[in-house]
């Protein structure tokens, strides 16, 4: 029997040639190809993971697995890679990483033919720069009384570091070290008890080994004790109220305001000047006329800047007219 030919080519040769062609030439689907790439834009807590995915002709999704070990404790959300037959560059940002830590990661791709894992790669997050915070409790504080300064040294290597405290009392011209340095705890926390704050004072803390690592300046305000007495003298049209009291410690020449509560706001309705006594306190006295009663308070404003604004307890007065 003669050889069967197709347009001059033996049929057997046609069949044999077809068997040697790639499966993709006939639209066959394969598992995707996942290639793990390098990491970029690495910070103390974030990184950009790169790679490429070839869907191999079927709808494919991909994600990154990552963690501090090859158990890959975390993963990103799944994204669509399409269904083409060419490699596609991809990138996913991850956040919430721990500073100065080595992470393993790999790319994973999946289509209806199966799951493909890219090779394991590693990245190391950058160190977190050291930074200091400082707060005071209470603040403001009555002049001459105590407060507690506390804060945190954050960043890589924050534990067991020496912190020094500096103070600059009004008029804030010089800085002086206050007490001995303190050592941060396991979390970077520290505290400095201050037994007495006599006047408005600025504070700051810095790292003994690196003075350039310094906290923002914290101002601890001091207030004076404002006593308040009020006596009503009823009149025929408008009642009179006599306010008097002391500012302790002395705040001579401080502005003393009599304030009244109106629609939720304190409004200054009169003022006077605190007078010296030479006895460690200043005194004030002011008489005002009022048609209607209400709630009052006395506010002392030390214009010298030694102390912060100080306020008495409020008082309610009625029956101003006789």
23: domain CATH number is 2.60.40.10
E strand or H helix that includes residue 139: none
Chosen domain end from 68, 92, 124: 124
Angle CA 13–17–21, to nearest 5: 170
Query: Are both 193 and 117 inside the same structural domain?
Result: no
Dist CA 209 CA 314 (whole Å):
50
Query: Are both 172 and 81 inside the same structural domain?
Result: no
Per residue in 187-210, pLDDT tens? 999 999 999 999 999 999 999 999
**Residue indicated by tokens 């791709």:** 109
Query: Are both 116 and 33 inside the same structural domain?
Result: yes
Per residue in 50-69, pLDDT tens? 999 999 999 999 999 999 99
On whether residue 45 sits in a domain, the answer given is: yes
On whether residue 253 sits in a domain, the answer given is: yes
Query: Are both 47 and 105 inside the same structural domain?
Result: yes
Is-cis flag, bond preceding 138, omega within 30? Answer: yes
Query: Are both 197 and 230 inside the same structural domain?
Result: no
Query: Are both 74 and 86 inside the same structural domain?
Result: yes
Query: Are both 137 and 110 inside the same structural domain?
Result: no
Taking alpha carbons only, the member of 267, 262, 288, 284 closest to residue 275 is 284
How many folded domains does the chain comprise? 3
On whether residue 205 sits in a domain, the answer given is: yes
Query: Are both 78 and 143 inside the same structural domain?
Result: no
On whether residue 36 sits in a domain, the answer given is: yes
Range of 17's domain?
5-124
Chosen domain end from 100, 124, 148: 124
Largest CA distance in the chain: 142
Task: Calculate the average pLDDT of the chain.
Answer: 90
Percent of the chain residues topping a pLDDT of 90: 84
On whether residue 39 sits in a domain, the answer given is: yes
304: domain CATH number is 2.60.40.3720
Query: Are both 89 and 141 inside the same structural domain?
Result: no
Query: Tokens representing 167?
Result: 């103070």
On whether residue 322 sits in a domain, the answer given is: no
Question: Who has greater pLDDT, 253 or 1?
Answer: 253
E strand or H helix that includes residue 19: helix 11-20
Chosen domain end from 222, 247, 265: 222
Question: What is the end-to-end Cα distance of the chain in Å, rounded?
Answer: 141
On whether residue 77 sits in a domain, the answer given is: yes
Taking alpha carbons only, the member of 134, 123, 198, 118 closest to residue 166 is 134
On whether residue 286 sits in a domain, the answer given is: yes
Per residue in 107-127, pLDDT tens? 999 999 999 999 999 999 999
Query: Are both 218 and 229 inside the same structural domain?
Result: no
3-state secondary structure (DSSP) of residue 158: coil
Rg (CA), the chain: 39
Q: Percent helix, strand, coil in the chain (nearest 5)?
A: 5, 50, 45
Predicted local confidence at residue 298, as pLDDT = 97
Query: Are both 11 and 90 inside the same structural domain?
Result: yes
Predicted local confidence at residue 317, as pLDDT = 80
């Amino acid at each position: 029997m003669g050889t069967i030919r197709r347009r001059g080519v033996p049929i057997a040769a046609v069949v044999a040639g077809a068997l040697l062609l790639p499966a993709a030439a006939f639209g066959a689907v394969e598992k995707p190809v996942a290639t793990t790439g390098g990491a970029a834009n690495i910070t103390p807590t974030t990184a950009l993971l790169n790679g490429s995915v070839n869907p191999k002709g079927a709808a494919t999704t991909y994600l990154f697995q990552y963690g501090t070990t090859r158990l890959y404790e975390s993963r990103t959300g799944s994204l669509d890679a399409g269904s083409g037959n060419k490699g596609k560059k991809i990138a996913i940002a991850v956040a919430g990483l721990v500073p100065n830590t080595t992470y393993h990661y790999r790319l994973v791709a999946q289509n209806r033919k199966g799951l493909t894992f890219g090779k394991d790669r590693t990245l190391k997050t950058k160190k977190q720069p050291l930074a200091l915070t400082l707060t005071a409790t209470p603040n403001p504080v009555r002049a001459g009384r105590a407060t507690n300064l506390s804060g945190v040294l954050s960043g890589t290597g924050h534990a067991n570091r020496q912190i020094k405290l500096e103070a600059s009392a009004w008029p804030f011209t010089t800085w002086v070290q206050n007490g001995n340095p303190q050592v941060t705890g396991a979390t970077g926390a520290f505290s400095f008890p201050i037994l007495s704050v006599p006047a408005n004072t600025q504070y700051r803390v810095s790292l003994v080994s690196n003075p350039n690592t310094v906290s923002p300046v914290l101002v601890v305000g001091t207030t004076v004790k404002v006593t308040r007495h009020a006596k009503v003298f009823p009149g025929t049209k408008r009642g009179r109220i006599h306010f008097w009291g002391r500012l302790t410690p002395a705040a001579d020449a401080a502005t003393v305001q009599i304030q009244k509560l109106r629609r939720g706001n304190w409004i200054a309705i009169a003022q006077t000047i605190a007078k010296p006594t030479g006895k460690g306190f200043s005194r004030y006295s002011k008489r005002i006329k009022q048609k209607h009663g209400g709630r009052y308070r006395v506010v002392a404003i030390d214009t010298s800047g030694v102390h912060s604004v100080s306020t008495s307890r409020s008082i309610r007065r009625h029956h101003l007219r006789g």
